[in-house]
Amino acid sequence: MNSNTTMNAVVCHGPRDYRLERIARPDAGPNELLVRVGACGICASDRKCWSGAGMFWNDPWVKAPVVAGHEFFGFVEEMGPGAAEHFGVAEGDMVIAEQIVPCEKCRYCRSGSYWMCEKHDIFGFQRLSADGGLAEYMRFPANARVHKIPAEMPLEDAAIVEPLACAIHTVNRGDVQLDDVVVIAGAGPLGLMMAQVAHLKTPKKLIVIDPVDERLALARGFGADVTINPKTQDAVALVKEMTDGYGCDVYIEATGAPIGVTQGLQMIRKLGRFVEFSVFGHETSADWSIIGDRKELDVRGAHLGPYCYPVAIDLLSRKLVTSKGIVTHHYDLNDWDEALEVSARPDAVKVLVIPHARQAAE
């Protein structure tokens, strides 16, 4: 750490104990980058971690104190010895690091499945020495997986590269075919990105389910053929009706609510593909005999965005996927607590914290 230079950062000390603090700005060591953060998105997992959800704190999975934030991008400010060659970047380049920092030693990393790294360090949750994106600066360690972003990409698009990579991986896990009826449950930021990606796969029918009509309108604009509001409509009955009583071929769960799981088990056809993406704040119970004895389902998890960052950057560059309508709010780092609160509102889709916004305006 550079003891002579400080910066503002939001430090997680525990559940409901996040503080804006002045901390030492990190230095870039050998093969490392110092990055000036351009923006950091607020994720549903950030809210659940802040609120004390068990999956984060019962282990404990989170290693506090740690600077929060994992949906970030930034600009190369300084490079440690060898970093230019190591990462293939130059000062001033717009860059992003994947949210996981793989150990490169465990069986998963050695076999290429780095996103399932046994050590599983993720920016914003475990690493005080390579903290998260809710700060003015970040250090990308030598084992970070870094990607360049085209300089002309708008801030809002660059800020969704991380969740878009997760959306791409999730849709790919569904193995969407041309004659499939695909259901995406949940039209939050990830669900809306999944809808855009699934639309590019050109399934026979794309259905999006969400209780917020404004989000369903966005989903239709992103290519959904049918949208269903489960507050006013019988989602299971409607999907069965559209599929001659069989059910959907692919069901992608992106609600983070237990009902999203049980609804999907009812609505998916026999031998269907059920993709689970969400991070849940509470345990979810279901009749497992549906999975085996009754339907013989192919249940697949989806974690992070492995090998999908270059695809996400390319899709955004070619305007095949957009952040318009998804990025709804911008906040200065000093107002991080309001950003966190607003991110839970139905009228907010994706909330960005822009650490240097105030300085740029002055």
Instruction: Give the chain's mean pLDDT.
Output: 93
Using pLDDT thresholds of 50, 70 and 90, give the confidence band for residue 49: confident
Asked if residue 99 lies in contact with residue 89, where contact means CB atoms within 8 angstroms, the answer is no
Asked if pLDDT for residue 357 goes beyond 80, the answer is: no
Residue 296 to residue 285: CA distance in whole angstroms: 18
**Among 255, 276, 278, 279, which residue's Cα sits nearest to residue 53?**
279
Span between the terminal Cα atoms of the chain, in Å: 28
Residues 6+ apart with CB under 8 A from 74: 35, 36, 37, 38, 94, 95, 96, 133, 137, 138
Can you give the pLDDT at residue 62?
83
Residue 340 to residue 228: CA distance in whole angstroms: 28
| Assigned CATH for 169-301 | 3.40.50.720
Of 181 and 127, which is predicted with more confidence?
181
Count CA atoms closer than 13 A to 274's CA, side-chain side: 24
Instruction: Report CA 37 to chain centroid distance, whole Å.
Output: 17
Using pLDDT thresholds of 50, 70 and 90, give the confidence band for residue 128: low
- Stretch(es) of the chain classified as CATH 3.40.50.720: 169-301
Asked if pLDDT for residue 340 goes beyond 50, the answer is: yes
Name 330's bridge partners.
352
Can you give the pLDDT at residue 7?
95
pTM equals 0.94
- Stretch(es) of the chain classified as CATH 3.90.180.10: 2-160+323-361
Q: Which CATH class is domain 2-160+323-361?
A: alpha beta
Among the ranges given (80-84, 306-310, 357-361), the one the predictor scored with the smallest mean pLDDT: 357-361
Asked if pLDDT for residue 208 goes beyond 90, the answer is: yes
Segment holding 217, helix H or strand E: helix 213-221
Can you give the pLDDT at residue 359?
53
Strand, coil or helix: 159 = helix
